[in-house]
Amino acid sequence: MEEKRSNLFPSMVMFLLSLILMLGSSHANDGIEYGNNVGESELQTYLVFVAKPDAMVSAQSEDLESYYQTFLPVDISDNGEERMVHAYRNVVSGFAAKLTAEEVKAMEQKDGFLSARPQKLLQVHTTHSPRFLGLQHSFAFWSFSSVWESSSYGKGVIIGVLDTGISPDHPSFDDTGMSPPPAKWKGKCEFNGTLCNNKLIGARNLVAKDKNQPPLDVEGHGTHTASTAAGNFVNGANVYGNANGTAVGMAPLAHLAIYKVCSPSGCADADILAAMDAAVDDGVDVLSLSLGGDSSPFYDDNIALGAFGAIQKGIFVSCSAGNSGPGHKTLSNDAPWILTVGASTMDRNLRARVRLGDGQTFLGESIFQQVVTPAFRPLIAAGNASEPSIYCGSGSLEGVSVEGKIVLCQRGGKIARIDKGKEVKRAGGVGMILMNDKPDGYSTLADVHVLPSSHVAYADGRAIRAYINTQNPTAEIKFEGTIIGLPDAPTVTSFSSRGPSLPSPGILKPDIIGPGVNILAAWPVSVENNTNTTATFNIISGTSMSCPHLSGIAALLKSAHPDWSPAAIKSAMITTAYTSSRRGKPILDENHHPADLLATGAGHVYPIKASDPGLVYDLQPEDYIPYFCGLKYKDREISFIVQRQVKCSEVSSIPEAQLNYPSFSIIFGVQTQTYSRVVTNVGPANSTYTVKITPPPGVNVTVNPGNIVFSKNSQKATYNVTFSRNNGEQRTQEFAQGNIIWSSGKYVVRSPILVRLSDD
């Protein structure tokens, strides 16, 4: 992860994931010659896609592995290491192996070979959030019966978390109140002794280079995400006394299955695929991946490939959108069968107020909540806008008179936020004001700083810098503790990646936003160096944090509606998302402007509504094949995804916007476009819905029919939507947005509309 996510442990947040793709061939008696005496230094891990023979469609894993072995030149390398790394049988057809480029080239002659590519590298992208999300009796700004009660707290559902492992002895993973694993569970625990239990029912290490080690989390990221999704209740959770309360995951009675796919050196997607493959066999219901990389065509995106294999088995997949915002086209994990989750704030602030000598005050954030004495100290700025020292990197304050002063530093420069404070402290400073860079606007973060600090907005930082140019500037940092009830919450944070999707701009992405800023959850060690407790917590930020929130909510919906498909669960979240802040105004972005659909997707998750949505837009895995053909994918490329032979010449292809998705993303070329949608009644048997349209500026939208009448549950109905350009209406922006709402009086089912109006 980058600087914007968390800077307590930069190594954790700078994770790289390896994406490993390649192919395989056979042995010498097939007429293929391989080099001998291959040195380990020449070997590289490849992911090899092959076609299964018809007789092996339902083969046992040992039969498939024997078949895969026929593609290898030798079984063992010169140093005695096995060439085969992983053999897949569920989410993709193929294997990962250590090969040379020459061996891969020779494999192309082997019958059954499909494709191969060398590995890529990707990035690895709560005391209050359950209340803010409306999962408890008294919460946020709603008054409904508890979602936890209606979903049995996620009882019986298994969430598979792919991450850096887990700290199994943390009290968040205590199994008090937990039922035994369901009978379908087939997984295993690779920890010694009794560290696994009815909460932590499985833990496996799939890191190929480290398979013999237990799946222990040495980074913190995996422990944090797992406890966010399904941690048990832990009273008195806090960091430095802040954000105090009962820490609990979104689905506290759901089971956790942990798959370690990341090491400090990175996360190989061959290992990620192995974990997804194992999770299918193990019997998980939800997969949570706070991982991602650059957006790619779906046949070239291993997380998308594995996720498609998972949904074919009925498994819901939730992934982080990425932390590369606020620019457009920065998404990860944007396949339409994945729930793509952006990050937003909650109504909680760990306040650190900056007061200047002239009386100006500015509200910032910090986990460090200690008093600076005496109150006012001399204030200086680190460098100027043209100097690297403005970022307070290591050694940048050498020769600067910092002793006893508060230093204004700027965010960015590829320097972790906490490392900036370390430099100020090393140089003798007594405090730091961290101002945003311009793209981050008003999005601030609370961190475990090493000295009194306050993170302030860009505009506030500019005002502070202007004051520093006056005579004898001074400042104080005053800590005010945990503040709850901020009226503008939620807002979209600056780092949250934005759409549109590059491989499929006709699908609106991200799908949704959820809490991802200043999230308190379990951590392997005490950030306060308190060795007298095992209840250790940390506050970090990222779409890595918003993803497990949605994974846990998906588990709640799965528990309440075990017959719903992954697409139905996703639809329930999307069509019930809300778009207003606590004060009733539109959700804002990092610049305090109304956030657009490319930042929010459908809006902020609303669990109580999602559990009873009225209507859903359902999809089955085979429904994606006409969509793939409409994307102009080659037959071979589609076969990578669906794991069977496809001929688009025999399929009626569809445009992207025709996929039965709960939202619309329209790109105008043709002046008039018509698409259909199928809705399924999951509410009362006898229901009547009436349409209400808010057309995007510059666009005419008509829906036919305007009323839908249901007479039974699970009944389906089709409607058509026509979009046409309104050239007489003035437009000033490339994108416009609106929505279609089906209302029954009890239910409001909203589908957002994004339209690209540019003429290029």
List, by residue number, the catalytic residues: 163, 221, 544
- Cα angle 434-440-444, degrees, rounded to a multiple of 5: 50
Cα(652)–Cα(655) distance, integer angstroms: 10
Nearest to 257 by CA among 187, 319, 152: 187
Cα(417)–Cα(391) distance, integer angstroms: 9
- Cα angle 274-514-575, degrees, rounded to a multiple of 5: 95
Q: Are 134 and 543 in contact (CB under 8 A)?
A: no
Q: Are 440 and 327 in contact (CB under 8 A)?
A: no
Q: Where are the beta strands (DSSP E) in 511-670?
A: 512-515, 519-522, 537-540, 615-616, 664-667
Cα(126)–Cα(245) distance, integer angstroms: 8
Q: Are 748 and 729 in contact (CB under 8 A)?
A: no
> Is residue 559 classed exposed, middle or buried when 0-12, 13-18 and 19+ CB atoms within 10 A define those classes?
buried
Q: Are 657 and 665 in contact (CB under 8 A)?
A: yes
Cα(363)–Cα(444) distance, integer angstroms: 10
Pairing of the two strands 512-515 and 339-344? parallel
Q: Beta-carbon neighbour count of residue 714 at 10 Å?
A: 11
Q: If you ran DSSP here, which 8-state letter would residue 439 be given?
A: G
Cα(517)–Cα(343) distance, integer angstroms: 7
Q: Are 154 and 135 in contact (CB under 8 A)?
A: no
Q: Are 513 and 580 in contact (CB under 8 A)?
A: no
Cα(641)–Cα(649) distance, integer angstroms: 17
In 3-state terms the chain splits into helix, strand, coil percentages (rounded to 5) of 25, 30, 50
Cα(496)–Cα(503) distance, integer angstroms: 19
Distances (CA, A) of 225 to 158, 162, 221, 545, 550: 15, 9, 6, 6, 11
Amino acid, single-letter form, for residue 203: A
Nearest to 379 by CA among 302, 286, 248, 471: 471
Q: Beta-carbon neighbour count of residue 375 at 10 Å?
A: 12
Token pair 């008090």 is found at 176
Provide the Cα torsion 611, 616, 622, 626; round to 10°. -140
Q: Which residues of 50-88 are buried (b: 16+ CB within 10 A; e: fewer)?
A: bbbeeebeeeeeeebbebbbebbbeeebeeeeebbbbbb
Ramachandran quadrant class, 441 (left: phi over 0; alpha: psi -120 to 50; beta: rest): left
Provide the Cα torsion 411, 417, 421, 427; round to 10°. -70
Residues sharing a CB contact under 8 Å with residue 62, sequence separation 6 or more, in sequence order? none
Number of H helices, E strands in the chain: 16, 35
